[in-house]
Amino acid sequence: MTELAEGPTHIGAKGSLAYWNREFQRIHSPTLRYGFSVVSVAIALGIAFILQHYGFRDVEVPVLTVAIAFATWYAGIGPSVLSVLLSLLFFDYFFLEPYYSFDISARDLPYFFIFVGWAAIVASFSAVRRRIEDNLRQTRDHLQVEVVERRQREDEIRKLNLELGKRAVELEASNKELESFAYSVSHDLRAPLRHMVGFSELLQRQATSALDEKSQRFIRTILDSAKRMGDLIDDLLAFSRIGRAETRKTQVDLGELVKEVVAEIGQDTKGRDIAWKIGALPVCYGDRSMLRLVVLNLVSNAAKFTRMREPAEIEIGAVDRNDNDVELFVRDNGAGFDMQYVDKLFGVFQRLHLPEQFEGTGIGLATVQRIIHRHGGQVRGEGAIDQGATFYFSLPKPQLAGERTANAS
């Protein structure tokens, strides 16, 4: 925090120093700029006279050249031109024969042109160097601003990462608390619910003759509701156990697993006309009991929602999504669903059909999603109303399953 607090002050001091340097190296007022040019040439002329007085010869050219360089450097192009003109005039008037005249003798004419060329070269080089340094200074200032902004962004990203880490820890703790709460509540509700069902059944058997049809219907409603609540609690307990249970990963032959599930479902769908189509299925790596529950839920849903179809068609197959994953699907020609509600399918107790149409508690697909996520895969659904549905789930191939499930846990 101290470093962050001192940062803006340090940057402000640097900016002030850079601004002072720029102000010192560049005179902004036009009057001062041209005045500086005149004064520079006048001082150079005075120095040349003094040096001549003490016996130094041919010093006027370097001295006036220095004045031109100073005027160009500190005052700019316009004052530089003025300093060149003044230097030429003074050089011609005071240092070339005939003296104190603007005429130039033939003997001194080359000397004069040499001075003109030298003055122009010095002025142009000074101007170019000044422009280059100005560009470099601007680039440096721009880079300093970018560095400061980048540090600020890095600090913000660091703070956001820390905050995100804290939120992730809090969310994980909240999820564990919710799972524990759901498990405890579901477990504790089973005993009073069993009492409710038991005593309602006793009352129904012992008081049937004393109750009229309306009262008996009330008791049947209590029993049906209690049994439905019992099913909900059992499914919620199973859903909570999936999040708490450890996965025992082994090689799983999905073809054999699907055959077992289809045989089990076939016992409950005797008398129905169901056309089963089972494709070649791969071997994967995962918890066999959990994956069996995934297949059982999906195939059970397909059998349930094709109850009104004659014949019902259920297809189970697999496709290679890429080099890392294999995707399995369960397709049916049943009631289907509206795709705008597809996100609700995998929520706990979320149903898109009335209980009178199709039984169920709305936990099956949520269980499927939790199991597949624990195996490092994804779940998705496609469908249309009265045109069937297809549910896909992906699993990592055996060589990547260990790493993927470790990250998912």
Domain 247-408 superfamily per CATH: Histidine kinase-like ATPase, C-terminal domain (3.30.565.10)
State the pLDDT at residue 157: 92
Q: Is the pLDDT of residue 373 over 50?
A: yes
Average pLDDT estimate for 14-40: 63
State the pLDDT at residue 274: 85
Q: Is the pLDDT of residue 363 over 60?
A: yes
Average pLDDT estimate for 8-32: 52
As given in the structure block, the two tokens for residue 265 are 């479902």
Q: Is the pLDDT of residue 354 over 60?
A: no
Between 355 and 106, the higher pLDDT residue? 106
State the pLDDT at residue 240: 67
Average pLDDT estimate for 158-179: 83
State the pLDDT at residue 96: 79
Q: What percent of the chain has pLDDT over 90?
A: 3
pLDDT (tens digit, 9 = 90+) per residue, 63-97? 888 888 878 777 777 887 888 888 888 887 887 77
Average pLDDT estimate for 348-360: 60
The domain segmentation of the chain, as residue ranges, is 2-160, 247-408
Average pLDDT estimate for 260-269: 84
Residue 346 DSSP class: G
Closest C-alpha to 253, from 272, 278, 216: 278
State the pLDDT at residue 7: 45
Instruction: Give the pTM.
Output: 0.49
State the pLDDT at residue 186: 63
pLDDT band at 15 (very low <50, low <70, confident <90, very high): very low
Q: Is the pLDDT of residue 245 over 80?
A: no
pLDDT (tens digit, 9 = 90+) per residue, 195-240? 787 888 887 788 777 778 888 888 888 888 787 777 777 766 766 6
Residue 289: partners with Cβ closer than 8 Å, 6 or more residues away: 248
Average pLDDT estimate for 325-345: 83
pLDDT (tens digit, 9 = 90+) per residue, 108-154? 778 778 777 777 777 777 777 777 877 888 888 888 889 999 999 99
State the pLDDT at residue 140: 87
Q: Is the pLDDT of residue 101 over 60?
A: yes
* SS3 per-residue string spanning the chain: CHHHHHHHHHHHHHHHHHHHHHHHHCCCCHHHHHHHHHHHHHHHHHHHHHHHHCCCCCCHHHHHHHHHHHHHHHHCHHHHHHHHHHHHHHHHHHHCCCCCCCCCCCCCHHHHHHHHHHHHHHHHHHHHHHHHHHHHHHHHHHHHHHHHHHHHHHHHHHHHHHHHHHHHHHHHHHHHHHHHHHHHHHHHHHHHHHHHHHHHHHHHHHCCCCCCHHHHHHHHHHHHHHHHHHHHHHHHHHHHHHHHCCCCEEEEEHHHHHHHHHHHHHHHCCCCCEEEEECCCCEEEEEHHHHHHHHHHHHHHHHHHCCCCCCEEEEEEEEECCCCEEEEEEEECCCCCCHHHHHHHHCCCCCCCCCCCCCCCCCHHHHHHHHHHHCCCCEEEEECCCCCEEEEEEEECHHHHHHHHHHHC
For residues 144 and 228, give the distance between their C-alpha atoms in angstroms, rounded to a whole number.
69
